[in-house]
């Protein structure tokens, strides 16, 4: 009987998370495509409601990560070329919101993996946004915002991954943010599509974060650095080859 009640509770929880994620995706689409202040306020109000309602884990409260996600979603929809792209971004944002909510209330058994996916998706999305427009047409006032979005996301990501935040992790967050901005800029100049540019930045982010997390845990080895460098180079070359076909 208790198992049956647990299954029903999980099922109702899944429906609740899905409904909130779908509403969020729909409002992101409306706010981004209409570009009206009223709908942007509704979008932000819904996001605030979701954040407060499902913020169960006080020890890992990723407010900067969540704020970066909101900024990224509405920016991608706002500057998307065509309704089909805006719809795709909204659907992906709804899936990511479901992932975030599930990890926040420990609905997923491995919440750190969910947070990792959520964080890397933000880095990928920022790279895609930057590469989808000409880097020379980018409003330069957006660069500090993008930098802070990466820094804030990385700061929350490290705190969740390692269970704390200190001066050394703050330094790493700053270093990674600077390197990520450089990587995003260079990738946007490469002669292929914005998805390939985003993939290169994503590879850089995953490999670099893995090295730094190992270093922070005191388990870094020279072989790890060499292995990650080889994997990063091989995957980057593969992207170049595939994009040239």
Instruction: Read off the pLDDT of residues 176-187 as tens digits, 9 standing for 90 and up.
Output: 999 998 898 888
User: Would you state the pLDDT for residue 27?
Assistant: 87
Over residues 159-174, the mean pLDDT reads: 83
Report if residue 124 sits inside a domain. Answer: no
Over residues 156-185, the mean pLDDT reads: 86
Q: Which residues contact 243 (CB under 8 A, 6 or more apart)?
A: 192, 193, 196
pTM over 0.85: no
More confident residue, 225 or 160: 225
Over residues 213-239, the mean pLDDT reads: 88
Report if residue 117 sits inside a domain. Answer: no
139 and 37 within one domain: no
Domain count, the chain: 2
Report if residue 159 sits inside a domain. Answer: yes
Does the CA dihedral 237-240-244-245 come out positive or negative? positive
Report if residue 128 sits inside a domain. Answer: no
Q: What tokens does 125 get?
A: 């999305």
| pLDDT higher than threshold 50 for residue 121 | yes
Which of the four pLDDT bands, split at 50, 70 and 90, describes residue 82?
A: low
CA distance 240 to 244: 6
Give the position of tokens 């479901």. 98
- Structural domain that includes position 222: 133-245
| pLDDT higher than threshold 50 for residue 93 | yes
149 and 89 within one domain: no
């Amino acid at each position: 009987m208790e198992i049956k009640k647990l299954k029903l509770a999980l099922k109702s929880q899944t429906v609740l998370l899905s409904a909130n994620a779908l509403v969020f995706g729909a409002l992101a689409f409306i706010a981004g495509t209409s570009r009206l202040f009223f709908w942007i306020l509704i979008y932000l109000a819904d996001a605030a409601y979701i954040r407060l309602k499902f913020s169960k884990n006080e020890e890992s409260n990723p407010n900067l990560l969540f704020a970066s996600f909101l900024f990224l979603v509405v920016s991608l929809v706002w500057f998307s070329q065509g309704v089909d792209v805006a719809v795709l971004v909204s659907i992906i944002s709804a899936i990511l919101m479901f992932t975030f909510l599930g990890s926040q209330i420990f609905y997923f058994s491995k919440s750190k993996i969910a947070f990792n996916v959520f964080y890397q998706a933000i880095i990928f999305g920022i790279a895609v946004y930057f590469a989808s427009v000409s880097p020379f047409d980018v409003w330069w006032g957006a660069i500090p915002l993008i930098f802070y979005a990466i820094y804030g996301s990385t700061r929350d990501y490290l705190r969740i991954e390692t269970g704390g935040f200190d001066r050394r992790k703050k330094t790493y967050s700053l270093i990674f943010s600077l390197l990520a901005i450089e990587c995003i800029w260079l990738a946007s100049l490469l002669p292929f599509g914005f998805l390939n540019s985003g993939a290169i930045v994503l590879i850089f982010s995953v490999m670099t974060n893995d090295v730094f997390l190992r270093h922070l845990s005191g388990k870094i080895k020279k072989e790890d650095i060499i292995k990650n460098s080889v994997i990063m180079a091989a995957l980057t070359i593969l992207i170049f080859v595939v994009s040239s076909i």
